[in-house]
Amino acid sequence: MLRKFISYYKPERSVFIKDMTSSFFIALIGLVYPIVTRKMLNSYIPDRNVRMIVIASAAVLILYAVRALLQFYIQYQGHMMGTRIQAEMRRDMFDHLESLPYRYFDNHETGKILSRMTNDLQDISELAHHGPENLIISSLTIILSLSYLCTINIPLTLIIFACVPILFIITLLLQKKMRRAFAMSRQAIAKVNASVESSIQGIRVTKAYNNARKEREKFEVGNGEFIEAKRIGFHAMGQFSASTQFVTNLFNVVVLVGGGLFMYAGKINFADYSAFFVSVNLFINPVTTMINFMEQYQNGVTGFERFIQILEEEPEKDSDEAADAGILEGHIEFRDVSYSYDGRNDVLEHISLDIGKGKKYALVGPSGGGKTTICHLLPHFYDIQEGQILIDGKDIRSMTLESVRRNIGIVQQDIYLFNASIRDNILYGRLDATEEEVIEAAKRANIHDYIMAMPQGYDTEIGERGVRLSGGQKQRLSIARVFLKDPAILVLDEATSALDNTTELLIQRSLDELCKGRTTIVVAHRLSTIKNADEIAVVSRGRIIEQGTHEALLSQGGAYAELYRLQFREEEEAGEGLKKLAIG
């Protein structure tokens, strides 16, 4: 872990050296004042040497001016170095997150991930800047100050030095307690972030159901845990701070009493005693800095451990023999495929299907039966435990992930649109597309006229998750995105189930146009939309229990026929209800 942390300093080598050099000279300049004080008390003042008093004072003033400039460099460039290291870590974390498989995001809340990317990395940045400075420079200052104090009076210096082990014993005893407390605090703030993110994303639902009180209660659970974690942390910090402060104050008592006794015994004169009293702070200050650094160290180390945890997550990767699939034709086969999300309970059991090039294959059945899982396995979002998935006769594991997904377009019920312009959202289908291709894709999705009616046209910002668009408009944008991608294989995962009947009919025309010439897998709730499918499979409890054309399945009188009968009755009853309302 230490090697990984140090690696982030390599691009900042020049700034780091200058920062450490500046800190070194600041430490040396700090020795000047007590040295001059001793010289004045022992020589210049008793000898009434005004000239040397003026020269010495001017020299101290000039050195303090140099020290101010060095301090500015450390504060400015040193903090910028920490910021750039933080940015590099954030870049590494983001890149790694982008490479992680679906299952990671299934098990980790977005708010907690964001907490690691913001709060944790901020503490790491502070450690990256101040850590070497505090560790190296404080150690150097302690050595130099002890050496200087020894030139004044060795026995008195050794007495003070004997108090140092007490400080380090206290630090070691309280270090583990502080570390646990800071880890708890980070977990608690991550939980608060996750709760806030969830509440903000669901704000419309909250307002619609007047459940703001419930959201506050959920928030307060996490907020209460945060307060308790902070209480434990501050309790440990209080013990640490009070104990170490007592010991550092003990230094002054030792100097006062020990120096007084030495002076009474004639072992030290008044000038040296005064200089020693002034100089002892040169030793105490870096010791105090080292002690206070422990809090920053614990914060930074805890944050870096959580950062490393993400980087150590196994990314999704191609097999060693994987090759670019090129342009696929779209013949799909599932051969005895089984899959489990948790490794214990199978979501799919021995699924086998064969979809010819350009054919339309529909999946129907009860919710939770495994239809969406089939759709997620085809683009290799998850690794199957048993069986094979083939496209054009080749196992998808023998193809690179990028090339498999390049050939598959997906339109889902829950459309995700970015907080960007309409153009940018369509371009997500193929980033190198021309303006003419974007417009053509929008026309084929039947949304071009609506876009042009907007004041800013294709430059219109649609808000977070496309909040400024209706459900139908969002769906058409997602369809335009797939038109632009122009894949050989199309997956429609309940693409119209969240729409009203009128909007669904309009969207269905766009989808029918999109399906032409492509191998299509349709997950459908309304059976009326898949009557013309080349083949229909009924999926229940992870198995395909029926398979055939619409007419064949109806004639069998099985599960599909029952689903169709129930849905037909619901639609008939809804139609009768609308007629009564119209008459009334």
pLDDT tens, position by position, 368-382: 889 989 999 998 988
State how beta strands 386-391 and 332-340 pair. antiparallel
Q: How confident is the model at residue 27 (pLDDT cuts 50, 70, 90)?
A: confident
Label residue 523 left, alpha or beta by phi (over 0 means left) and psi (-120 to 50 means alpha): beta
For residues 165-187, give the mean pLDDT: 71
Q: Is 335 helix (H, G, I), strand (E, B) or coil?
A: strand
Q: How confident is the model at residue 346 (pLDDT cuts 50, 70, 90)?
A: confident
Dihedral pair phi/psi, residue 581, rounded to 5°: -65, -40
- Dig out the tokens for 161 from the structure: 């030095």
| Predicted structure pTM score | 0.73
Contact 494, 334 (CB under 8 A): no
Q: How confident is the model at residue 429 (pLDDT cuts 50, 70, 90)?
A: confident
Place of tokens 């690696």: 7
Q: What is the model's pLDDT at position 574?
A: 47
Q: How far apart are CA 108 and CA 333, in angstroms?
A: 32
| pLDDT at residue 3 tops 80 | yes
pLDDT tens, residue by residue, 57-72 = 888 889 889 989 998 9
Question: Which ranges in 133-211 belong to alpha helices (H)?
Answer: 138-152, 154-161, 164-201, 203-208
| pLDDT at residue 201 tops 70 | no
Which sign does the torsion angle of CA 254, 255, 258, 260 carry?
negative
Q: What is the DSSP secondary-structure string of 163-182?
A: THHHHHHHHHHHHHHHHHHH
Q: How buried is 442 (Cβ within 10 angstroms: 0-12 exposed, 13-18 middle, 19+ buried)?
A: buried
For residues 189-218, give the mean pLDDT: 67
Which sign does the torsion angle of CA 148, 152, 156, 158 carry?
positive
Q: How large is the C-alpha radius of gyration of the chain? A: 36
State how beta strands 408-412 and 394-395 pair. unpaired
Cβ neighbours around 470 below 10 Å, total = 12
Q: How far apart are CA 123 and CA 300, in angstroms?
A: 5
Domains of the chain listed by start with CATH number: 92-311 (1.20.1560.10), 325-407+491-498+520-584 (3.40.50.300), 409-486 (3.40.50.300)
Q: How confident is the model at residue 584 (pLDDT cuts 50, 70, 90)?
A: very low
pLDDT tens, residue by residue, 316-335 = 888 888 899 898 999 999 99
Contact 496, 507 (CB under 8 A): yes
- Dig out the tokens for 23 from the structure: 């800190």
Q: How far apart are CA 143 and CA 301, in angstroms?
A: 26
Q: How far apart are CA 418 and CA 467, in angstroms?
A: 10
* Helix pair 435-444, 501-515: axis angle to 10 deg: 130
Q: How far is CA 131 from the centre of its chain?
A: 24
Q: How far apart are CA 123 and CA 116, in angstroms?
A: 10
Q: How confident is the model at residue 338 (pLDDT cuts 50, 70, 90)?
A: very high
Contact 483, 325 (CB under 8 A): no
- Dig out the tokens for 19 from the structure: 């920062």
| pLDDT at residue 150 tops 50 | yes
**Type of residue numbered 257:** V
User: Residue 166: which residues within 8 A CB-CB, separation 6 or more?
Assistant: 247, 250
Q: How far apart are CA 538 and CA 353, in angstroms?
A: 12
Q: What is the model's pLDDT at position 416?
A: 80
Kindly report which listed range (276-290, 323-337, 375-389) carries the lowest average pLDDT score. 276-290
